[in-house]
A and B are shown apart, each in its own frame.
Chain A
Amino acid sequence: MFDLSAHPGRIYVLATLLPLVPAAVILLVGMVRHLAGRHAPTTAGAYLSVACLLASAGMAGWGAVTYFGEVERLPAAEVEARWGERFDWIRIGGSVTDQPAAVLPVGYRIDRLSALMFSMVTGIGSLIFLFALGYMADEKKSVPLPPQGEGLGVGGSHSDHSPPHPHPLSPGGEGSRRGRFDRFFLYLSLFAFSMLNLLVADNLFQVFVSWELVGVCSFFLIGFYYERRSAGTAANKAFIVNRVGDAGFLVGMAVAFAAFGTLNIADLNAKFDTNHPQDISHTLWIVLGLGIFLGAVGKSAQVPLQTWLPDAMEGPTPVSALIHAATMVAAGVYLVGRCYPMFAPEVLLVIAYIGLVTLFISATTALVMTDIKRVLAYSTCSQLGYMMLALGVGGWTAGLLHLLTHAFFKALLFLCAGSVIHGLHHEQDLRRMGGLRRKMPITAYTMLVGVLAISGAPLLSGWYSKDQILSSALGFGMANTEHFLLFVGPLLTAALTAFYMFRLWFLAFGGEPRDRKLYDHAHESPAVMTIPLMILAVFSVGVAWGWPIWDAEASALGKLLHAGQPHGHGLKLDQAHKLAEANHLLAGGLALAAAAVGIGYAWVRYGKQAPTPAQLAEPTGLLANRWYFDDVYDAAFVNRTVDAAHLSANVDRANPDRKAEGVPSLDGLMNSAATLAARGGDALRAVQTGRIRVYVLALALTTIGLLGMLFAFIR
């Protein structure tokens, strides 16, 4: 099956399917062991998961090297054939010829983008899996249950460290629950498979399948500490909000399938090769693009569907790093990048503005957050906004380069945060930290690398990508002056980014400890956790380097990507590209200045002197309430839907346990019709009989009548 000489692309199929092995093993072994009455988690499955993902990463490395070698050497058609195949999943109709809309295939297709993404996901994934071996070590044995309503791990703001109340609930022992070490790696492996399948998929249908599968893995991982109500709610919220996006994705697919009879991404892109799409009206073209983009909005946590991501921090920290920073949330950007020609100019403009709104709103919210993971969550939203904006203004390479570099430094930042949380025994309130650089130096300084990278400090990976984004935006703004805001917004936000990231670092690691007890018990994490940090830090610095390294345009990674840039339909893009190149230095200079301002202000406020009590007070107002998105959604949609549900339930039938509240019930209506008929029968015969007999008699009479009709017909 895996004939690699003719189809080297199949290495990717193998690498994709490999994580399913540990998932199946853990599932089966777990089930058998539970049924046999042995409830302690196994560790072997976890090590198998790590081994399999490492093997996948190795294959991805081999694949990428081979692919980038061949793509230079061989003609395009041959590369296409060697690195992509499709198989029928469902084929309908008896026709022997290939007709449109007759087949739903599955397949894989490797291009530059997917090869790079695959290497990134397996690489970062392996490091995070390794980290999780250390971070989740507590789960190897029974875990004491916290008092109800409070959390393990991520609790937001629980203020004291009183020992958990004894809890007489769990069979695993007094006040404890079974460890979930193996279950955690089951979900992670399943996630790895789904995510990799999403990357290699050559058609929208398969992307959608993986799209929902990563969603469900995310659901289980967010709700990992499901004793906590907030965790269950956050998991539901993530899944349902994503379903809204997925509904849009489905609409997009339905449009594409109805118009072209295929869902293959390359085929669809080819239909939009020119600026005059065939077989489809302009309106439907826009609907198609908006539908697919809505899917991406959900997955990549863009406004207006961004609210699930911060809540998703209820999950264990490696999950936040893997799924909610480096890979799954990037899937939306990846999809937009892959389907780039499918977007009409209007849609690209929408994408750019959605990105703009997201990056600004999220960055401002991050300014006041006090939970270390929430700051990072909002910063993720904001950075994803940058990527979307870049794609919208025609900076395909810039946006996707930022996707790759961001994955490294954001994974690094999250794992550092995880290391801090681990070292502080599950404390994540920034206001109670401080001075930790002395206790956990490796974490502190690797995190500083991440902070510098995300702020856009020169020569670090984030600088290359952010510089390209800003120059694309500047070019676009100069070509279309009415959209100049698309440059000003990200520039301002670059300063905000630098500010809130350094605020986080100063609050956690700088100055003096603000909670002495916490500080005294803090410790540096074990090597299995710090080594991944160091590797990620190296990548965060150098992943985008090229020669000369001081030239942001010379990034080797960027050049690899740029060679695969598809044709886009944005407004005056050619002109924008030219202007972007011409004013590249101006954009870069402004970005640098913005970052310097942000860092400097953070130093003044939080670094130079200890933060004042006012600065540490519980934040209030618009920003602390996340621009009231959650409240508005609750009021406008969630509560209305629940009301509608209760109303429908009441209309349908007066609930036995609740009064009908004056609503006429449909069931009551049908019943009274029946009662009326029964009464009529009773009245006619003036004899009181049981209801059953009435109906049986009615049935008999009807049957006789109908049989009479039958005789009449035959005669």
Chain B
Amino acid sequence: MLDLMLSSTDRELDLIQLSALAFLPAVFALVLLLVPSGWKTAMRWTAVFGTALTLTVGLCTLVDYHTLLDSRSDRTTRSLYHPATRLDERADAQLAVSATGVGSYLSDDLVARRPWIPRFDVDYALGVDGISLVLVLLTAVVCLLAVIASWTIETNLRTYLILLLTLESGVLGAFLSLDLFLFYVFYEVMLLPMYFLIGLWGGGNRKYAAIKFVIYTLLGSVGLLAAIIALYSVNVRDFVPQDLVKQRAADLKRKDPALTDAKALQLAEVHTFDFVTLGKVGRAVMLALNHQEDRIQVARKKEQGTNEADLRRDRQGTPEPVLLLAEGVDREAAIARLKGQSVCTPTFQYVVFALLFVGFAVKVPIVPLHHWLPDAHVEAPTPISMILAGVLLKLGGYGLLRFAFPLCPWAAHQLAWWVGLIGVVGIVYGALVAMGQRDFKRLLAYSSVSHMGYVVLGLASWSGGADARYWEWAVNGALFQMLAHGVTASALFFVVGVVYDRAHHRDLTRFGGLKEPMPVYSGMSAILFFASMGLPGLCGFVGEFNVVLGAWKFNWGLAVCAILATVLTAAYLLWAWQRVYLGVNPATAAFPDVSAREVAVLLPFVLLSIALGVFPSFLVYQWAEPSVAGWVSQLAPLQ
């Protein structure tokens, strides 16, 4: 990695910045190796410093990203919404630069691309947009607080911290990857640390929980790998800069000099792991399968100032064009080539979507693939539970949002109702099962299943045409729900951890009366409980409310179920609240209130819950929403 950066004569700031964001925790894991083994405090502070630095880089990236959004303006769209600042456009621009092979790599668009394994067209490609940045920042915050929460870990501290930091690197890398292969690598990288963190530092039944976690996740990721490889098999030559095709033709001709130029050009194939390109294929396939191939159009030169709005004006009365094919492509031949490929069959689309969906759904998790979650949570130590709930589950939602839907939009649209139903089943079933639990952590684990169901429902609320705005609400809600759940769920797992440190059990029936001995702790817990319940003014509400508003337009039946589940949510959380905090209990009366370190973990979560609930637009939506708007504007018109 370092080598790659130094060998490039044009040092690219984006590449360094994004790589630093992804690899800083790993670097600090290496630094930890150098700390003498007795210096436990030094190790802890090293880890705190590493995660804090990562958060700082993340915040700097946020500032850069905001500047980037602000750098273009256009009177036809609101500020920060310029189409050229969307991830797709930026990734395309980088692809064009790297295809010509000339010119400088210097850029300020927060997308970096370098060949990594040229033999298999694997690129080292990183990039951020509003969607990934939300989750990157969430990860950085949760990991920092989890390290602080790990202060009580004594056994094998160095290994523990190294694994935790490696895990953070894996997650951040996965959020930042633009290349499916790279994504997969990062996705697998975080699996092993998690396995060991649960299996070595967990509770009594930790081996079982750890192996269960690994099996379920592997089951998902094998499907993911199959889907990625299937997508790699697609010939994307009409969707990439044509210079690349010419290079391939030249390569072919070198191998077989007997070929004529024209024949070589015809035979040349381009394969890619780049999900922006593959997303274009997916959209083209959707149009083709819906018999709307006349809408597939060739992109024109940007310099001419034409954009989709102009084109629409030019061809009034004709169907709305979708610019998918690369500049200079013969449209008829390209469509014929596309329809000749297996990618343009319903089976391929269904299978790949199903593989991607199941792969990510295990992580979300959806019912009935959620059983690893309660076991893993119950056995994992508190900080690992925080990361598991706060960060790892988000990878599932992120994967659905970033990969499953854009790569196979046709299948996603066909199956939208079923996906929504799966989400609603998760919401209701998770809430019911949570209500039946006696173990505090298990209850929270199932509440995660319930809350993440809103994410699935929000994504699935496919409304096209004039109603696309409702889908946008729902997708925004899904994204915000991920953020809010990340904050509240990690915080609540820490809340359980605090009381577990004092009571040494998590049996809800044996708590009670915590409000009197621990007033500060109870006050903070109350805010977090209500944030998780979706009380307006706190963060849990924004996501749920937006999802419900959007989902109603999609299917009112699903929306009603999601709305009614809020009653169940209130019931199980308040019941738990009553059993833990209210009443009088001699067993808990002597518990000391939270320590300064515990306040240091809880207070940021509490403040975030309030701030996100009161100022969602200022804090998140203003920079995250343009990306979601772009996402919806790509998929919604295809219907």
Q: Which residues of A contact B (CB under 8 A)?
A: 27, 30-31, 34-35, 39, 88-96, 99-102, 145, 148, 167-172, 177-178, 205, 208-210, 212-213, 216, 219, 223, 226-227, 229, 231-233, 235-236, 239-240, 243-244, 246-247, 250-251, 253-255, 257-258, 261, 641-642, 644-650, 652-653, 655, 657, 666-667, 670-671, 674, 691-692, 695, 699, 702-703, 706, 709-710, 713-714
Contact = CB atoms under 8 A, between A and B. Distances in A.
Given A95-B77, A650-B436, A674 B215 contact: yes
A258 B553 contact: yes
B245 interface: no
Given A89-B617, A236-B578, A94 B435 contact: no
Interface residues of B, number: 86
A32 to B, nearest CB: 9
B78 A95 contact: yes
Contact of A94 (B368, B517, B575, B626): B626
B106 to A, nearest CB: 28
B211 A695 contact: yes
Contacts of B542: 90
Contacts of B546: 90
Interface stretch (B165-173, B488-496, B584-592): B584-592
15 contacts: A30-B519, A34-B519, A93-B469, A94-B78, A94-B626, A102-B469, A178-B519, A213-B537, A236-B574, A240-B570, A261-B469, A641-B432, A652-B433, A670-B371, A714-B120
A230 to B, nearest CB: 11
B548 A666 contact: no
Dominant SS among interface residues on chain B = helix
A233 B435 CA distance: 16
Given A247-B566, A250-B563, A35 B548 contact: no
Dominant SS among interface residues on chain A = helix
A574 to B, nearest CB: 35
Given A31-B523, A34-B593, A92 B625 contact: yes
B590 A254 contact: no
Contacts of B574: 219, 235-236, 239-240
Contacts of A648: 429, 432-433, 435-436
B206 to A, nearest CB: 13
> Counting chain A CB atoms within 10 Å of each CB, which of B371, B429, B546, B593 scores highest?
B371
B567 A257 contact: no
Contact of B567 (A35, A219, A229, A243): A243
Given A148-B584, A240-B574, A670-B368, A247 B552 contact: no
A254 B544 CA distance: 12
Interface of B: 75-78, 81, 120, 211, 214-215, 218, 222, 225-226, 229, 232-233, 271, 368, 371, 374, 429, 432-438, 446, 469-470, 472-473, 476, 513, 515-517, 519-520, 523, 530, 535-537, 541-542, 545-546, 548-549, 552-553, 556, 559-560, 563-564, 566-568, 570-572, 574-575, 577-578, 581-586, 589-590, 593, 596, 599, 616-617, 621, 625-626, 628-629
B481 to A, nearest CB: 14
B360 to A, nearest CB: 18
A289 to B, nearest CB: 16
Nearest to A94: B81
Contact of B570 (A91, A168, A243, A653): A243
Contacts of A101: 469-470, 473
A673 B516 CA distance: 48
Contact of B229 (A251, A691, A713): A713
A649 B437 contact: yes
Contacts of A227: 513, 516, 582-584
A573 B396 CA distance: 56
Contacts of B572: 645
A31 B432 CA distance: 35
Given A88-B617, A232-B582, A240-B567, 16 more contacts: A30-B523, A90-B476, A90-B617, A100-B469, A101-B473, A209-B541, A216-B530, A226-B581, A236-B574, A239-B574, A251-B560, A254-B559, A641-B435, A648-B432, A652-B433, A699-B222
Given A212-B536, A240-B567, A247-B567, A232 B578 contact: yes
A226 B582 contact: yes
Contacts of B616: 89-90
Closest 5 pairs between A and B when the two form their complex, measured CB to CB: A649-B436, A94-B81, A645-B435, A209-B536, A254-B552
Contacts of B218: 695, 699
B578 A94 contact: no
Contacts of A213: 535-537
A208 B536 contact: yes
A248 to B, nearest CB: 9
B362 to A, nearest CB: 11
B211 A691 contact: yes
